[in-house]
Structure 1
C-alpha cells in the first residue's frame, strides 16, 4: 500500500525526539516525574498545575505517540480507558452507534451495559458483513480490523468515506497492528484507539492506552473527558511505555516475520484443522490486508479438533505462555471460547513473541505432534 507506506513515521527521528531538544548536562533517558503538585506561585496560566491535568513524563510520551501516529495523542491508563474516552466524549443520548459483534468483547460490554442505559442505541454487525446495510443511520461507527480474535478485516478507507458522507464519526481500534502495521488515520478514519498494554509496551508489565485524531474538536472533547473523569495514566506506567516504544520497531518486525514463518508451517500440520493469518495467500483477509496494511501482524489462530487438545497444546508447549492478552516478547496463547467469544471450542489464538523462530517452531511442532 504505497500511499500509507510513504507516511510511515521516521523511527530514527522518534528515538531522538527528546535528545535533540536537550540542554547540556540534561539526562538522555526520560526522567520519571512522580508528583501530584507543582510549584505554582501567582497566576497558574501556562504552567503545570496539578497531577490530574499535567505530568511531564506522560506529556513527553504523548509527543512520541503522536510522532508514531502522525497526529495528536492522549495517553490513558488502559486500552479500555482509551476506548471509553473516545466513545463517551463523542456519543450523545438519542444517537446510534455501530460496533463489531466479533471484535474485542469488552468493547461490546461497555456499549451494551453502559451506553445503552444512557439512551444510546447500540447495533452490532459481524466484521465480514460490516459494510452491508450502509451507515447512514449511525452517528458513531466503531471498527476493529483485523478483528480480535477472528482476524477478519474491514476496508477502512471505504467505511471512513461512507460514514463521513453521512455525517458520522469513525473510530478504529488498531491495537493488533500498531501504527507500524496499519495507519487508519491515513485511510480517513477520524479517531484511533489502542491498547498500549500489548505490542506498544511489549513486556507485559504495564496497562496503558491512547487516543489519536487529526480532528482538533474531537481531541479537545477527549482531553476534557480525561481531565474531568480522572482517567489519567500513571507516571511510572508512562515511563515504562516510553521505554518500550524505543524497541517497538525491532520487536514488531521480528514478531510479524516469525508469525509468517509459523503460519506457513502450521498449514501443513495434520493436527491443525483450520488456520487464520492474513499473510497466508488463501486467507479470507489476505487481499485486503495486502492493500491496507504495512505488516500482516503477529497474531494467528489455529483450530484443533477439541477443547481438550487445544488445552493440552497450550499447556504443554514450553515456549508458549498460557495467558490472556497479546503482543508481548513471550509468545502466548489461549482458547478464546473461555471468554465467551463465538469461536470453536478448539480455537486457539496465538500471539507470536520474540523467541528465535526455529526454536519456537520446534517447541510448537513437538507439542502438536504429542496430541496424537
Structure 2
C-alpha cells in the first residue's frame, strides 16, 4: 500500500532519530570538510568531499523518504536537470521538452545538447500526448507547467512513452512530493528545484534527482562525482532544516491558495485566473485525478502590463521576486522574461501569511492598481 502524505510527514522529522546513539546531537551536525581521516584501506569510508559528505547524505535520505526512491542532491534544480541529460543521453538521441515549461531547460538543450549531437523537439503541456513518442530516447514533462500551469496526464504519457521505448523525466518543482508523486504514476526519474518550497526560506539553491532505476541512479551519481556538480554541505544543512517543516508550510500555502484563487475568480478586475483547484479551470478534472493538492501557484491576468506591475509593487504582502515557494507571498510579471504569456499575466506564489490578512492586502492593491 502506498504510504500517505500524513504518514510520510510524520516520520520525516524522525529519520535522523532512528539512528541516534545515546549522547548524539538531535539536530543534524554541519560537516564542513573536504578531507576525511583515511589510513589504510579506504573502502567503505568517507574519502573526499567531491565523493560524499555526511550532511548531504542526511538530506538525500529525507528526499528519498519523501519521493519513495533513492535521491541525489545537486547545487540547483538546473544542475539536477543537467545531470539527467548528460548522465543518460548520448549522440543521436532525441528529446521531447515542454514548450511552456521552465525556459532554462529549453535553453540548455538548445545551447549544449545540440552541440553533442542530441536533438530536441518541443510540445505544449496541455497537448503533450498529441503526436506520440516514437523516436524519443527521453520525454521530459513539467506539470503543472511553469508559468502557464497547464497540466498533462502523467500516467498516460508514461504508458505511451514506455511503449515507444522512451524514458520519462518529470519536473515536479511546482508541486513537491506532498502535492504530486510522478514516480508512483509511472515516471522513471523525478527532478526538482528544492530552492523553492522544500527549503522554503529563499536562502539557498538546491536540487535533486530521484529514481527507482538503479542503473539510472548509478549513471547520474557517476556523472556528479566526475563532473563535480555537487551540493554544498551548508546548503544541504539548511535544506534539511527546511524539509522538517515542508508539510506544515505546504498545507498552509495550498489552503490559502484555494481560498484566494476562488476570490480572484469572482473579482471584476481580474481578466482570468489559472489555478488547477478551480472547478472551471481547464485542468481541474485531471488535477483531481493525479494531484494530492492543487498547489500554491496561480496565474492572474490583469488588463495591462502596467496594471500588473502596479499591483505587484503596491501590495505590502507581495515580495516582487523571480522565484516561488517561500514563506512570503511573491509575484512577478512573467512576460518580462520572454515567456509566451499575456503582458498582464502574473505568476503569484502564495506564502504562509494569515489568509484573511493576505486577501485583504491583495484586494486593496488590485483596486488601487486598476483605479
Q: TM-score, normalization: structure 1?
A: 0.98
Structure 1 residue runs without a partner (length 5+): none
Task: Map 1:30-109 to 2 at 5 A.
Answer: 30-109=28-107
Q: Which residue of 2 aligns with 1:142?
A: 140
Local SS of the residue matching 1:38 = coil
Q: CA offsets per residue over residues 176-198 of structure 1, 9 Å max, x none?
A: 10000000000010000000000
What is the distance in 1 between the residues matched to 2:160 and 2:2? 20
1:196 equivalent in alignment to 2:194: yes
Q: Which residue of 1 aligns with 2:213?
A: 215
Q: Which residue of 2 aligns with 1:272?
A: 270
Q: CA deviation at 1:167?
A: 1.4
What is the distance in 2 between the residues matched to 1:128 and 1:294? 19
Picking from 117, 120, 125, the partner of 1:119 is 117
Q: Which residue of 1 aligns with 2:203?
A: 205
Q: Which residue of 2 aligns with 1:225?
A: 223
What is the distance in 2 between the residues matched to 1:274 and 1:140? 34
Q: CA deviation at 1:23?
A: 0.6
Counterpart contact for 1:198–1:328, Cα < 8 Å:
yes
Q: CA deviation at 1:10?
A: 2.0
**RMSD after superposition:** 1.1
What is the distance in 2 between the residues matched to 1:318 and 1:46? 54
Q: CA deviation at 1:11?
A: 1.5
Q: CA offsets per residue over residues 220-239 of structure 1, 9 Å max, x none?
A: 01100100110000000000
Q: Which residue of 2 aligns with 1:247?
A: 245
Q: CA deviation at 1:158?
A: 0.6
Counterpart contact for 1:9–1:70, Cα < 8 Å:
no
Q: CA offsets per residue over residues 28-77 of structure 1, 9 Å max, x none?
A: 00000000000000111110000000100000110111000000000000
Q: Which residue of 1 aligns with 2:301?
A: 303
Q: TM-score, normalization: structure 2?
A: 0.98
Q: CA offsets per residue over residues 254-287 of structure 1, 9 Å max, x none?
A: 0000000000000111110000000000001100
How many matched pairs? Answer: 370
Q: CA deviation at 1:291?
A: 0.2
Q: Which residue of 1 aligns with 2:289?
A: 291
Structure 2 residue runs without a partner (length 5+): none
What is the distance in 1 between the residues matched to 2:276 and 2:111? 32
Q: Which runs of 4+ in 1 moved over 6 A?
A: none
Counterpart contact for 1:5–1:294, Cα < 8 Å:
no
Q: Which residue of 1 aligns with 2:169?
A: 171
Q: Which residue of 2 aligns with 1:129?
A: 127
What is the distance in 1 between the residues matched to 2:257 and 2:85? 32
Counterpart contact for 2:5–2:178, Cα < 8 Å:
no
Q: Which residue of 2 aligns with 1:162?
A: 160
Q: CA deviation at 1:145?
A: 0.4
Local SS of the residue matching 1:89 = helix
Q: Which residue of 2 aligns with 1:365?
A: 363
Counterpart contact for 1:75–1:232, Cα < 8 Å:
yes
